[in-house]
Amino acid sequence: MTMAKAIFGKKAGRKVEVNEIIEIEPDILMTHENTAAISKKFYSMGVKRVWDPEKIVIPVDHCVPAANEKYAANHKLIREFAKEQNIK
């Protein structure tokens, strides 16, 4: 058994097989600076709220402090998105 099968099986509450499609809720979701672009897509799809703000982490770990105005603008978008979605 692979580590992935063990983890997914535990989360699914049963044995899972290779190539099986399962639906499980993640314990935590982590994203990064790409969140600036993703947040625009998120809203354009008509989504209003993230599924669980307590389970989302957005570390800003690239180019900190911002090296230029583009990075600074993206960091600002991320902070605004996190605040709107109540992501700590």
pTM value? Answer: 0.78
Q: What integer pLDDT is reported at residue 32 of this predicted model?
A: 86
Residues (pLDDT < 50) of the chain are: none
Q: What integer pLDDT is reported at residue 65 of this predicted model?
A: 92
Q: What integer pLDDT is reported at residue 63 of this predicted model?
A: 86
SS3 56: strand
Q: What integer pLDDT is reported at residue 34 of this predicted model?
A: 86
Task: Please tell me the distance from the alpha carbon of residue 77 to that of residue 88, in angstroms, as a whole number.
Answer: 15
Q: What integer pLDDT is reported at residue 61 of this predicted model?
A: 85
CB 50 within 8 A of CB 26: no
Q: 35-55: per-residue pLDDT in tens?
A: 988 898 999 999 999 999 999
Q: What integer pLDDT is reported at residue 58 of this predicted model?
A: 95
Q: What integer pLDDT is reported at residue 8 of this predicted model?
A: 95
